[in-house]
Amino acid sequence: MLFLTPSYRKEAKLVLRAARKLLRYRRDILPDKQIIGLREAITRLEVAMRKNSREDITAATEKLHGLFDQAAPRPPLAGLRENTEVILVALVIALGVRAYFLQPFKIPTGSMQPTLYGVTGTPTVEPLPSWPVRIADFVLRGRTWIDVTADADDSVIGLREVTRFHFFTSTEVITRTRTYTVPAPLNVVRTDFKIYPGRPLLAGQPIVRGHADSGDQLFVDKVSYNFVRPKPGDVFVFRTTGIRRIEAGIAPGMGSQYYIKRLAAQGGQTLRIDPPNLYVNGEIPQLPVLQRVMSCRDGYAGYSNSSAGGGAFPILGSPEAEYTVPRASYFALGDNSYHSSDSRYFGPVPEGNVVGRGLVVYWPFLGRWGLIN
């Protein structure tokens, strides 16, 4: 059996195979002296392996290996080239998987809470926990602890969001005398930690103290919708290309964005919302995932005609309003209905904009880790 073969015999077989291959491919360019030497060394190693003498096999292997290196010397920087090739192949495979099979996606906002969470901030007054606890919180919960203290009496004059390496996002709190860096997005610093221009700061007092929890990071299945159509109840990701109300609010040059919502209805179905219930073709849908939102339990607040600020949505803005989804389109709703910009605001999602189905949350490991429902 192969796994019981002594290591010296395995090495001998590898060297033999390489030497025979070298003779086949380079016989016409190698000097006669090297060809004769390689053939004699191959014969000597074959004889030693038949006799099964460890000393003879080891000696013959070393001899053949030396002749092989002389006939086919390693090129300069061979190790660097091999490592570069491995890295390039790994990158190509990763890009291929991302393009055609699984795409990583980070939840940016709270529009799908409590099914999926965006970045949230929680102020605290207690001192930060120890470093081991903070490291464990980051690994398991995606939680970053923050403690930024004012050096002197001052006041905030501006906020600026900074993203480094397209991944690490922080907010610069600009005061009259200096700039403080808070490792959290601007909307979290402003909304959750209540930092805004004009806010006074006291020397030695926290500007931001607490923790920011990273948005759920998930894989999007880009394959299955090539074989089956999206169906109501799916959590799906789509591009905003061609959706005019969204594109009007995007800064020039930013290009298309990705949104994640729940598919509430498809082309031809008629919707109505009478809070907290959603009606599809005049009936309350029996899909468990939609029933969960309408239950007003476990953090869900049901479906709404207006945002938390009280403004009615352009579509389904009253209990009497109805809307029929156009053909080859989908109606997207956030599970956090009062805090979601979705098809009630920007209209239906064209079929061609669909990227894929939210498959699994891969980080953080605690909370909503696992398959998305």
pLDDT of residue 254: 66
Which of 183, 223, 179 minimizes the C-alpha distance to 201? 179
Q: Does residue 226 contact residue 344 with C-beta atoms inside 8 Å?
A: no
Q: Is the pLDDT of residue 331 over 70?
A: yes
pLDDT by residue (tens digit) across 254-301? 667 899 999 999 999 999 999 999 999 999 999 999 999 999 999 999
Percent of the chain with pLDDT over 90: 68
Residue 80 has pLDDT above 80, yes or no: no
State mean pLDDT over 135-149: 95
**pTM over cut 0.85:** no
98/92 Cα distance (integer angstroms): 10
Q: Which residue has the tokens 């398991």?
A: 140
Q: Is residue 78 scored above 80 in pLDDT?
A: no
Q: How confident is the model at residue 115 (pLDDT cuts 50, 70, 90)?
A: very high
Among 26-30, 61-65, 259-263, the range scoring the smallest mean pLDDT is 26-30
Q: What pLDDT does residue 305 have?
A: 97
Percent of the chain with pLDDT over 70: 96
Q: Which amino acid, residue 346?
A: F
- What's the whole-number average pLDDT of the chain? 91
Q: Please, what is the Cα angle at 279 between 264 and 354, to 5 degrees?
A: 15
Q: What's the first-to-final CA gap in the chain, in angstroms?
A: 47
Structure-block tokens of residue 175: 């005061």
Tell whether the torsion through CA atoms of 168, 202, 128 and 190 is positive or negative: negative
227-252 residues labelled b (16+ CB within 10 A) or e (exposed): eeebebbbbbbbbbeebeebeeeeee
CA distance 209 to 16: 67
